[in-house]
C-alpha cells in the first residue's frame, strides 16, 4: 500500500472520530480541554440549550453549575472521614427547575430579597416593579436573574464566568445592566463568587446566591450550630419588609454572636420569629472595613463539616427554609420544612425605600462589585 493511501485512510478515520466526538459533545458530555467539563442538560421552553458545567479542585471537591439562573446544582465537599457529600439542595432534571422552585442555588437579581409595595423612587421618578410576593417584589420579580439563560465561559477547570444583560425596563428596573458572576472552586475547598455589574442609567442592584445548605446532606438542620458576627438585625413587619429599625440582638433569639444550634430558640414565642415562621431576617454585619471578612460560621456535629461565610457585603439573610413543605424532591431527598438553610450575603432588603440603609444605587461609570466565599473544612 502506498503511503498516500495510508495517510488518506488515517485522515478519514480521524475525521470520522472527530465528527463522532463533536456530535456526542452536543448531546452528551464533553471534556472542554483544560477548562473543565460541560454537559447538555436540557432545553428552555424557547429552545435554547441548557448546559451543566463541572468544576473540580485538586482535593476532589466538585461544583456543578448550570447556565440557566447560574444555579449551583450540586457542591460536593468532604466530611470528617473524607467522604464527599453534596451539601446543597437541588433537583434531578432541568425541567424540575422550570416549576416555581424556591430559588435553589440561583443567582438572584436585579434586587435580592423584597422591595416593599414593589415600587421605589429614584431621582424623582417612581419605578413600578413586578409583584410576585403579595404586594411586594421578591428576588427580582416574576422573571428575575434566576430564570434567565446566562452566557457561560469556563476560565479554567476550577472557574466559570457567567454573563447576563438585563434590559432597561426588565421587571420594571431602569437601565441596561451588564452583570458578570464568576464561580471559582479553590484548592482550599472554597466556593468563591465574584459579582460585578455596570449600568447605563441610574438603577438599584443587589445580587446574591440563593443556595440552600445542609452540611449532613439530608435530615433537618436544627442541630447545625450557627455563628453570625452581627450586633444588630433588621426587624420586619408581617409582610417580611424591614421596618427600618436596626435592632440590638442582645437578649433575643437573634443573638448568634456565640455559636448556637439553629433549633435552640426557633420556636420561641417571639413576634419576629412568628412573622417569618422561623429565621428569615437580615443581620447587620459587624464589619471593620470594606474588604472580604468572615461573617458567619456553621458547624454540623453529625458530619463534622463546617462552613465559613466571608463577604464584602453589609448584610446577611439567614433563612431556615421555613417555606419548604416536603413537596419538592431531588437527589433522593425530600425538601421538608427546615431541611436546609440559606446564608444570602446582600444589601438590606427594601433599601431603595429606606434612605437610612446603605445605598444600593448604581450609576453609569461606577462598577458594582462584591465577593462572597463559602469555605468548607472539617472538625
Q: Hey, which residues are catalytic here?
A: 210, 344
Nearest approach in angstroms of CB 197 to ligand BGC is 19
| Contacts with ligand BGC, 8-47, as mask; x by CB under 6 A | ----------------------------------------
Q: How far apart are CA 332 and CA 91, in angstroms?
A: 9
Q: Residue 279: name the closest of 235, 325, 247 by CA.
A: 235
With residues binned 3-state (H G I as helix, E B as strand, rest as coil), the percentages for the chain, rounded to 5, are 15, 40, 45
Does 233 contact ligand BGC by CB under 6 A? no
Rounded CA gap, 9 and 22, in Å? 20
x/- track of binding to ligand BGC for residues 85-124 (CB under 6 A): -----------------xx---------x-----------
319 binds ligand BGC (CB under 6 A): yes
Of 177 and 340, nearer to ligand BGC (C-beta) is 340
Nearer to ligand BGC, 217 or 242 (CB): 242
Q: Residues near 9 by Cβ (< 8 Å), separated by ≥ 6?
A: none
Q: What is the DSSP secondary structure assignment for residue 348, as one 8-state letter?
A: P
Show contacts with ligand BGC in window 151-190 (CB under 6 A): none
* Minimum CB distance to ligand BGC, residue 344 (Å): 5
Residue 113 or 137 having the CB closest to ligand BGC: 113
| Distance in angstroms (rounded) separating the CA atoms of residues 175 and 89 | 33
Site map 330..359 versus ligand BGC, x via CB under 6 A: --------------x---------------
Residues contacting residue 2 through CB under 8 Å, at least 6 positions apart? none
Report how many residues bind ligand BGC under the rule CB under 6 A.
9
Shortest Å distance, C-beta 113 to ligand BGC: 5
Q: What is the C-alpha separation between 220 and 214, in angstroms, rounded?
A: 8
Site for ligand BGC in 238-297 (CB under 6 A): 240, 280
Residue from 317, 320, 339, 370 binding ligand BGC (CB under 6 A):
317
Q: Are 225 and 307 in contact (CB under 8 A)?
A: no
- Nearest approach in angstroms of CB 332 to ligand BGC is 22
In 3D, which of 282, 302, 334, 295 has the Cα closest to residue 225? 302
CA nearest neighbour of 254 among 137, 275, 239: 275
Closer residue to ligand BGC in complex, CB, 60/134: 134
Shortest distance (Å) from residue 192 CB to ligand BGC: 21
Q: What is the nearest approach in angstroms of ligand BGC to the Cβ of residue 319?
A: 5
- Looking at 148-156, 198-206, 294-302, 317-325, which segment touches ligand BGC (CB under 6 A)? 317-325
Sequence length of the chain is 379
Core vs surface per residue 194-205: b (16+ CB within 10 A) or e: bbebbbeeebbb
146 contacts ligand BGC (rule: CB under 6 A): no
Q: Give Cβ neighbours of residue 186 (< 8 Å, ≥ 6 apart).
A: 57, 158, 192
Interacting residue ranges for ligand BGC, rule: CB under 6 A: 102-103, 113, 240, 280, 317, 319, 323, 344
Amino acid at each position: 500500500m502506498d503511503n498516500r493511501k495510508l495517510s488518506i485512510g488515517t485522515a478519514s478515520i480521524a475525521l470520522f472520530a472527530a465528527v463522532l466526538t463533536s456530535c456526542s459533545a452536543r448531546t452528551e458530555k464533553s471534556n472542554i480541554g483544560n477548562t473543565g467539563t460541560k454537559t447538555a442538560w436540557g432545553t428552555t421552553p424557547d429552545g435554547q440549550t441548557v448546559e451543566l458545567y463541572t468544576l473540580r479542585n485538586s482535593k476532589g471537591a466538585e461544583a456543578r453549575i448550570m447556565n440557566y439562573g447560574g444555579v449551583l446544582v450540586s457542591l460536593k465537599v468532604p466530611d470528617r472521614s473524607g467522604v464527599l457529600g453534596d451539601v446543597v439542595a437541588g433537583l434531578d432534571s432541568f425541567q424540575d427547575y422550570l416549576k416555581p422552585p424556591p430559588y435553589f442555588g440561583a443567582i438572584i437579581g436585579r434586587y435580592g430579597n423584597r422591595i416593599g409595595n414593589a415600587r421605589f423612587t429614584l431621582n424623582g421618578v417612581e419605578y413600578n416593579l413586578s409583584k410576585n410576593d403579595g404586594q411586594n417584589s421578591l428576588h427580582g420579580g416574576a422573571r428575575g436573574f434566576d430564570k434567565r439563560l446566562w452566557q457561560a465561559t469556563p476560565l479554567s477547570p476550577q472557574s466559570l464566568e457567567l454573563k447576563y444583560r438585563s434590559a432597561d425596563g426588565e421587571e420594571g428596573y431602569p437601565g441596561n445592566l451588564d452583570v458578570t458572576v464568576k464561580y471559582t472552586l479553590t484548592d482550599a475547598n472554597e466556593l468563591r463568587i465574584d459579582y460585578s455589574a455596570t449600568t447605563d442609567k441610574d438603577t438599584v442592584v443587589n445580587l446574591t446566591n440563593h443556595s440552600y445548605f445542609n452540611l449532613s446532606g439530608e435530615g433537618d438542620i436544627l442541630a447545625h450550630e450557627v455563628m453570625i458576627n452581627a450586633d444588630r438585625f433588621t426587624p420586619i413587619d408581617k409582610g417580611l419588609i424591614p421596618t427600618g429599625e436596626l435592632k440590638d440582638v442582645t437578649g433575643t433569639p437573634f443573638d448568634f454572636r456565640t455559636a448556637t444550634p439553629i433549633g435552640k430558640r426557633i420556636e420561641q414565642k417571639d413576634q419576629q420569629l412568628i412573622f417569618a415562621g422561623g429565621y428569615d431576617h437580615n443581620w447587620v454585619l459587624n464589619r471593620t472595613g470594606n474588604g472580604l471578612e468572615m461573617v458567619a460560621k456553621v458547624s454540623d456535629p453529625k458530619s463534622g463539616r463546617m462552613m465559613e461565610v466571608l463577604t464584602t457585603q453589609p448584610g446577611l439573610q439567614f433563612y431556615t427554609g421555613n417555606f419548604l413543605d416536603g413537596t419538592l424532591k431531588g437527589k433522593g431527598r425530600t425538601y421538608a420544612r427546615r431541611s436546609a438553610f440559606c446564608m444570602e450575603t446582600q444589601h438590606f432588603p427594601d433599601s431603595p425605600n429606606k434612605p437610612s440603609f446603605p445605598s444600593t444605587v448604581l450609576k453609569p461609570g461606577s462598577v458594582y462589585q462584591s465577593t462572597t466565599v463559602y469555605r468548607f473544612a472539617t472538625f
